[in-house]
A and B are shown apart, each in its own frame.
Chain A
Amino acid sequence: MRRPFTRRSLSMVAIAAATAVSVLAGCGSPGGDATQASSTPAAKVPELGKDQKVSIVFESYNFGQAGAWTNTFNDLIGKFEKAYPNIHVTPQKPKGSSPNPAADTISSLQSQIAAGSSPDVAQVGFSDLDFTIHSLGAQNLDALFGKDAVQKNFDGAKYPYAPTARTLADWDGKTYGVPFVFSTPVLYYNASLFTKAGLDPAKPPTTWAEAETAAKAIVEKTGDKGLYLDCLTKIAKDWCFQSLVRSNGGRVISKDRTQLTYSQAPAVQVVTDAQRYVKEGLTPVLGQKQAYESFARGEIGMFLETSAIQATFQKGAKGANWDLRAARMPSYGDKPAIATNSGASLFVLSKDPAKQRAGWDLIKFLTSEQAYTEISSKIGYLPLRTGLVDDPAGLQGWAKENPLIVPNIAQLDKMEPWISIPGNNYLQIRDGMMDAVERSVYQGADPQSTLTAAEKQGAALMPKA
């Protein structure tokens, strides 16, 4: 039965091949058009006309987190539309399925841009700064709206941005993004466990050596776990690891961002110490989410974490009836502790002048005194206009009730930026580094050789100078 079909199927293959070739001929060479990226308009974007209706899309991972995050932001968007009746904002969360919606930010933007329609305003993390500016085409705000206007927004109506926060989303002296929400690493601790272990809860550890001793006391006396640093896994990203390494006098990447330096002594020391906490049973081997749920249940003594998770801790402390307190990040011996920032900025991605202007209006609104008052009191994010915490009409009342914010604000003065890794392969480089850190700390791999091997692989992915 087979043979008679052979000739026909042959001709079918031929036809299929011919069609295929004709369709495929349309493929051309892959890749994007570089000229698109460089076409930045020289002229400033005009103000919107009185009757000019504009509709913009605002993408933020805050809309992917149910509860306080989505509610607060929907409320703010509603207020914005009331204040600017001509502008309609469509809020959306990043497309994707990650447990943490922030992790989908870049892939979501990338796919929308590839499909030809990007959101007009987007909230993007600091680790992606280089990529956002150079590959996603974030607009130069100075060029669009004038340096004065951008600086005026930072100065605010009454309370200016903290000086260290102003320039976090600048590149070569030009402002591309407005830093929006972030935190520094804060040592949250369970004062109830401290008391139980015979430690003084009024004197939280100020160095990592003290923290280790305290952790040992907690493990021995209470049977609970001592401390967890949410800085040493791939999913935690590298903001807080950068902070630890800086505090130990090193860097993960050289100052001019051309060389990876995380296999040098300061970084290796940080990883070796953290590995010892695990080996000695002070740090539990838990995934990120498991760990902060465990801390919320009151099972861990100390926890180095961003204030973005604070609400979860507070809720847990209330439920399990323990006393949550916060302290500054400990230092390595007498070296100064250097905090870096987590978080994200707001960028204008639109190429249409009217939408750019509307997007800028939205950014100004979301970073205003009024918006920060609401964002900080409802979500717990750091108010970047720090003066607000002393204003009775602003956040003073809230700050008094929430002493947890104190170390975070205190650390702002000497904060250093979370440095983004350069090039198209920055995520592979960053993930490779954090994978090596996680492998050493939690799976017992040798820190020096693991970090060296990862750094070698990462170096090959760095952009060639």
Chain B
Amino acid sequence: MFVEIAPPTLAEAAAATAAEATATRRRSVRGISRLLGRGVVPYLYLAPALGLLVVWIYRPLVETAQYSFYSWNLSPTTPAIPVGWHNFHRVFTLPEVGDSVLRTVLMIGLLLPFTIVIPIVVGLLSREVRGRARTVYQALIFAPFLVAPVASAAVWEWILTPGSGVLNRATGLKINWLHERVPALLSITGIVGWQMLGFAVLVVAAGLASINGDYAEAASVDGASRWQATRWLTLPLLSPTLVFLLLTTVLLAGTWTFPLIDTLTQGGPVSATTNIYYLLWNYGFKSFDAGLAAAAGVVFFAAFTGVAMVLVWLSDRLAFHDN
């Protein structure tokens, strides 16, 4: 049997589809907003930090790259003249740039004993000290790190003064520490090393504390001497910490040395303490050669990125998971 059903009119059909569509749309809008909400909210939380990162780090970076193709003296009344790759050509041909790179490497090399070798020795030895004495001991070593660089520079200037300075009087030397080429370089790195030692010791102490004592115990049960346990267990387990210290020294040597160079020697005598960071600052903010400073900045940004990548890769390879 056939039951006749009136065919739906066009209007009805349209209404039905419309209603259906609205429903689906409402559903999908709700869905999308829920989805979006779920996806967007975390980013909204991140936005302030990201925004600041972009404004203070990435934007200046891009601007620096831009400036490197111009000749400009940073004056708002002087137009910047595009000069193509000329600034980069200067970076690679100026002898003072090459010299200061060499001095930077030298400074980093001279800092490494202070940020790696001495901290290991101090860290291992201070393990022997127990209780309160240990805290006092560590605090004493950490103290220089808390002294403002400019203040310590003033004190060191007195210590190093030729004639009446404590150092020359104590040692009987007649060295004009801050005004002879090699002594000036040694003084700057020595002072920075003295200051950073506390920080490095603290990092090494933290690294040592995180090493499970069971290893050493197990080794001594197996008859390993103290030295053997240190050499074959503690040091390898400490290696990620040491790579971290190496990385910090290489990347932050410039930041650490800068205030001391600026207050004690201003890069002299005859550029003997001008490292690449001080040279860059000199180009940019003393001679107002914004283009050259930017070009050098870009080159060294790239170079240090490369160095950092190698070191991070190294630290990943050395990383291990205790427990």
Contact = CB atoms under 8 A, between A and B. Distances in A.
A197 to B, nearest CB: 21
B287 A113 contact: no
B138 interface: no
Nearest to B268: A234
Contact of B270 (A99, A290, A427, A442): A442
Contact of B75 (A12, A135, A235, A457): A135
Contacts of A59: none
Interface string B32-69: 00000000000100100011011100110011001100
A115 to B, nearest CB: 9
A424 B288 contact: yes
B238 interface: no
B50 A27 contact: no
A253 interface: no
B73 interface: yes
Interface stretch (B76-84, B203-211, B228-236, B241-249): B76-84
Interface stretch (B6-14, B19-27, B119-127, B173-181): B173-181
B239 interface: no
Contact of A290 (B62, B70, B179): B179
A37 B179 contact: no
Most buried by A among B58, B73, B176, B180: B73
A149 interface: no
Contacts of B95: 457
A401 interface: no
Interface stretch (A13-21, A166-174, A220-228): A13-21
Contacts of A23: 54-55, 58-59
Most buried by A among B59, B161, B287: B287
Contact of B78 (A135, A287, A290, A431): A135
A36 to B, nearest CB: 5
Contacts of A19: 50-51, 54
B66 A27 contact: yes
B58 A36 contact: no
B88 to A, nearest CB: 15
Tier of interface size on chain B: 35 or more
Given A424-B71, A431-B287, A442 B269 contact: yes
Contact of B63 (A27, A290, A424, A428): A27
A370 interface: no
Nearest to B90: A460
Contact of A33 (B54, B59, B79, B181): B79
A392 interface: no
Contact of A285 (B66, B76, B179, B288): B179
A424 B289 contact: yes
A151 interface: no
Interface string B142-167: 00000000100000000001100000
B60 to A, nearest CB: 10
Contacts of A30: 63, 66-67, 70, 72, 80, 290
Given A24-B58, A113-B77, A439-B270, 11 more contacts: A19-B54, A23-B55, A23-B59, A30-B63, A30-B290, A32-B78, A34-B78, A37-B77, A137-B77, A286-B162, A287-B269
Interface of B: 43, 46, 50-51, 53-55, 58-59, 62-63, 66-67, 70-81, 94-95, 150, 161-162, 176, 178-181, 262-263, 266, 268-271, 283, 285-290
Sorted from nearest, which 4 A-B pairs have the closest CB atoms?
Answer: A31-B80, A37-B77, A424-B73, A32-B76
25 contacts: A16-B50, A20-B54, A20-B59, A23-B59, A24-B58, A27-B59, A29-B66, A30-B80, A36-B77, A107-B288, A110-B74, A113-B75, A136-B75, A137-B77, A234-B268, A235-B266, A235-B268, A287-B179, A290-B162, A425-B287, A425-B289, A427-B286, A428-B287, A457-B94, A457-B95
